[in-house]
Amino acid sequence: MIVPMADLKAQHQEIEAEVHSAVLEVLKSGRYVLGEYVQQLENRIAQFSGARFGIGVASGTDAILLSLVACDIGPGDEVITTPFTFVATVEVMALRGARPAFVDIDPCTYNLDHRQVEKKLTSRTKAILPVDLYGQMAARKPLIQIAQQYNLRLIADSAQAIGAKQNGLGIGEYGDVATLSFYPTKNLGGCGDGGMILTHNEEIEQRTRLYRNHGSGGKYSYSKIGYCSRLDEIQAAILLAKMKLIERWNEQRQKNANRYRQLLAGSRVELPYCAHENYHTYHQFTIRHSRRDELQEFLRQNGVSSAVYYPHPLHLEEAYRYLGYKPGDFPESERAAKEVLSLPIHPELTEEQIAYVTEMIFKFERRNDNQGSIHSDK
C-alpha cells in the first residue's frame, strides 16, 4: 500500500467545482492583486482566529518579516525564539539585522520552553517569538506575563497552526501578532504562496499594510521604505473556498490522530503530547523513536512516506554559526532533531492507510526484537 505525506490532488477533487468557479470569477474581474477577495479573506480569517485585523501578504515568511518591521525590530535588537523550527522563523530576524537569541524547547510539546526565557533576556531583547510547532500553540500565558513585565513584543509564528486554540481562545487572541502561512501543504493551503498577519493592534495593522506595498500610503507617495509582499486575488479566492472546510479538515486530522493513538498503544513509539488546555490541529502527527532513521527507511521500503521536521536545529547550521552557539547548547532541540518522525495525518487519509502505517511500525519493532534475540543468543 502507498501512503503519501499529503494528498493535494485528492483535496482538490473534493472542492474542484468551487475552486474553479472562484478562480474564473477573479480572471473575469480584471483585478488580480489586493482586491475584494483579499479583503474578504482577511476578514474571514481574522474572525476565525479571534483577531481584529488580518493583513494578507505574499508568504508566511513575509508575515513574520513584516511583523518585525511593524514592531520596529532591527539592527542591535534581540528576539527570543526556538532553534527547533523551520528556518524562516529565524532567517527574517537575521535579515532585519536583529539577533536570534535561542531558548531550548520543552521536550513534550517541542515548543519554546517558557521556563527558560527569563534568564535569556538582555537589555537588547525586544520580542519573544514562539512557534506553534506541528499545530499546537506554545504556552501563551507565561510568555505574555514575561512580555508585559519586560515591555517586550509577543509575535507568534503560527504558520502551522490555523484553527488552534488555547483555553478556548484562538491564535489571534493572544499577544501582539500571530502569523500564518498558506503554503500548499499547510492545513489551509493555497495553490502557491501566501501568508497573513493577525493582530488586535491598530498601529501594527496600519504599519503592515503600508510596508507590504512599498511603504506607499497613496498613489506614488511613500512614507516608508517598504517591501513588495502582496497577496493575490486568485490565492485569496481559493483560500476563501477552502475556509469553508477548514474546521472539518482540522477535526478529521484530530480523528486520524486519535486512531493512531489507539492503534499504536503498546508500541515503543512515543506519541505526541497535547497539553490539556490546547486544541491541537495536527498539522503534523509527530512521534519519537530512538531508531528513527531505521524506522523511516523501513516505512519507506513499505510504501509509507514520513518526514523529519526538522533534522538540524538551527543553532548548528552553517548560516547561523556566527551566532556562536555550539553542540550541547540546546540539548532537547538536538535530541528531538535525532528522534522525531512525522507520519501521514492529512484529512484524506483512509482508515485502511492508518491501520497499515501502524501495522508497519509494529512489524519494524518485531523485526528489531527478533534481531535483538538472535544477538543475545550468541
Ligand X SMILES: Cc1ncc(COP(=O)(O)O)c(C=O)c1O
Chain residues in the site for ligand X (CB under 6 A): 59-61, 85-86, 88-89, 131, 157, 159-160, 181, 183, 193, 195
- How many angstroms separate the CA atoms of 159 and 139, rounded? 16
Q: Are strands 153-157 and 177-181 parallel, antiparallel or unpaired?
A: parallel
Give the nearest distance from C-beta 158 to ligand X in angstroms: 8
Shortest Cβ contact with ligand X: which residue? Answer: 60
Give the nearest distance from C-beta 132 to ligand X in angstroms: 8
Give the nearest distance from C-beta 244 to ligand X in angstroms: 21
Cis peptide upstream of residue 310 (ω within 30 degrees of 0): yes
Q: Which is nearer to ligand X, 183 or 227 (CB)?
A: 183
- How many angstroms separate the CA atoms of 157 and 339, rounded? 23
Cell 501578504 belongs to 57
Give the nearest distance from C-beta 157 to ligand X in angstroms: 5
Q: What is the CA radius of gyration of the chain?
A: 21
Q: Which is nearer to ligand X, 3 or 129 (CB)?
A: 129
Q: Which residues of 110-146 are buried (b: 16+ CB within 10 A; e: fewer)?
A: bbbbbebbeeebeeebbbbbbbbbbbbbbbbeebbeb
- How many angstroms separate the CA atoms of 90 and 333, rounded? 15
Q: Which is nearer to ligand X, 199 or 358 (CB)?
A: 199
Q: Which is nearer to ligand X, 48 or 183 (CB)?
A: 183
* Structure-block grid coordinates of residue 229: 509582499
**φ, ψ dihedrals at 89, nearest 5°:** -55, -40
Q: Which is nearer to ligand X, 92 or 117 (CB)?
A: 92
Give the nearest distance from C-beta 171 to ligand X in angstroms: 13
Give the nearest distance from C-beta 139 to ligand X in angstroms: 17
- How many angstroms separate the CA atoms of 238 and 377, rounded? 61
